[in-house]
Amino acid sequence: MSQSSTSNMRSIGYAAGAVVLALVLGIAAGALMAKIAPENRFSWAGLAIAPLWFGIEIFFEGVVAVLGAHAKAVRILSTVAVIVGFYVAWFALRVVAP
């Protein structure tokens, strides 16, 4: 029983780490695109978020065994984290920055 609970807690820890990593990558991509994209073009934002999401999907194909039963939920949460992180950084830098 203790072995199973330790394994489950470890899997949850890995899952939380993966979602946080996705959020950080989304923030970094949003900040980068906010700085390098033309000022009057919002559609350029999609150029960074699509490859980032694709890269995270490839990453999760490799670590799906470590995440165990939480793999599908983590993939969905990481996709949401990338999108939220990206657009929070994008709008924060585009609205606040001159």
Task: Read off the pLDDT of residues 44-94 as tens digits, 9 standing for 90 and up.
Answer: 666 667 777 777 777 777 766 677 777 888 888 888 898 899 889 988 888
Q: So where are the chain's domains?
A: 2-96
Read off φ and ψ for residue 22, nearest 5 degrees. -65, -40
First-last CA distance in the chain = 57
Task: In whole angstroms, give the CA distance from residue 92 to residue 98.
Answer: 11
CA distances for 34 relative to 22, 29, 96, angstroms: 18, 8, 11
Task: In whole angstroms, give the CA distance from residue 55 to residue 29.
Answer: 12
Q: Specify the pLDDT at position 44.
A: 60
Q: Which residue has the higher pLDDT, 1 or 94?
A: 94
Q: Specify the pLDDT at position 24.
A: 92
The pTM score is 0.76
Q: Report yes or no: 93 and 31 within 8 Å, Cβ to Cβ.
A: yes
